[in-house]
Structure 1
Amino acid sequence: MSMNVINEKNAQFLVKKKQYHILFINSPFCGTCKVAKRMLLYLEDTLEDNKFYELNGLTAPDFLQQYSIMSVPCLMVFKDGQPVDRIYTFHSVPYLLKELGPYLVTEKNKI
């Protein structure tokens, strides 16, 4: 499985939707980004669903400025057009699962 790669225009559209969307902002020249991406791909495979969108920060300077993204990798959670969480540290897969847990549960999976 692979993340849904989107461009800046798609990202602007995506963040306005009602449900949670998790956007992974990275750079192809960033070693830490590559490690973080492997963790997220593992999570996607485990969850058996495409949960993350990927945006190359180098091609989206306006988006980075609009949301005050200071460094990559950055994982941003959006709901109703607003950032509700951002993660800059990617300690481990269990850490990410704990941090993202509330956003990964879909309405149909809630009790």
Structure 2
Amino acid sequence: MKELQEHELDHIEDDVYLLYLYTPFCGTCQLASKMLTVVKEMLPDVAFYQNNVNYSPTFAKAYQIESVPCFLLFKGGKMVERGYAFHSVSYLYELIKQKSSSASHL
């Protein structure tokens, strides 16, 4: 996943993308990152990015990030899913696949 800085977060041009938010010393974040790496390979039409929220307080506040790990899924410039639970690779795959192809929005 490509690492983005806070100033880059509002300038992503992909139609469908997932933004993974983490902190480097979070053990659960490290596991979630590995899971998303697998899902990324299974969903080539979805762009995957990551951001260390320690360096993005304004973004975290604007998107009301409550904890990490967290992912935000965007489609057509709108957030369509926010997730804190990374149950399994298959769970993430199905959720991201469904939300990235559906017309529903938060």
Quote the residue 2:74 is aligned against: 78
Equivalent residue runs for 1:7-22 within 5 Å: 7-14=5-12, 17=13, 19-22=15-18
What stretches of structure 2 of length at least 5 have no aligned partner? 102-106
Identity %: 37
In 1, Cα distance between equivalents of 2:38 and 2:76: 27
Specify the code of the residue in structure 2 equivalent to 1:10: E
TM-score (norm 1): 0.80
What stretches of structure 1 of length at least 5 have no aligned partner? 106-111
Quote the residue 1:5 is aligned against: 3
Alpha-carbon RMSD:
1.9
Quote the residue 2:39 is aligned against: 43
Note closer, same or farther for the CA distance 1:66–1:19 as it changes in structure 2 (3 Å cut): same
SS, match of residue 85 in structure 2: coil
TM-score (norm 2): 0.84
Quote the residue 2:21 is aligned against: 25
Quote the residue 2:50 is aligned against: 54
What count of residue pairs does the alignment treat as equivalent? Answer: 101
Quote the residue 1:109 is aligned against: none
SS, match of residue 28 in structure 2: helix
Specify the code of the residue in structure 2 equivalent to 1:12: D
Larger radius of gyration, structure 1 or 2?
1
In 2, Cα distance between equivalents of 1:63 and 1:94: 29
